[in-house]
Amino acid sequence: MFIKPESEYVKRVTVALLPKHVDVLDRLAKLDDSNRSEQLRQILDSLYPTIEATVKAFEAAQAQKNEFEAKYAQIAVSDLEALRPELEKMQNAYLGAIARLEGHLAANDAGENPPLVTRG
- Specify the higher pLDDT residue, 6 or 96: 96
pTM of model > 0.75? no
Calculate what percentage of the chain has a pLDDT beyond 70. 87
- pLDDT over threshold 80, residue 116: no
Domain ranges for the chain: 19-83
- Specify the higher pLDDT residue, 94 or 108: 94
- At 4-44, the pLDDT tens digits run 555 577 888 999 999 999 999 999 999 999 999 999 999 99
- At 58-73, the pLDDT tens digits run 999 999 998 888 888 7
Residues 115-119 have a mean pLDDT of 64
The 3-class SS string of the chain reads: CCCCCCCCCCCCCCCCCCHHHHHHHHHHHHHHCCCHHHHHHHHHHHHHHHHHHHHHHHHHHHHHHHHHHHHHHHHHHHHHHHHHHHHHHHHHHHHHHHHHHHHHHHHHHCCCCCCCCCCC
Residues 97-119 have a mean pLDDT of 75
| pLDDT at residue 115, rounded to an integer | 61
| pLDDT at residue 79, rounded to an integer | 78
Stretch among 5-14, 58-67, 94-103, 109-118 having the lowest mean pLDDT: 109-118
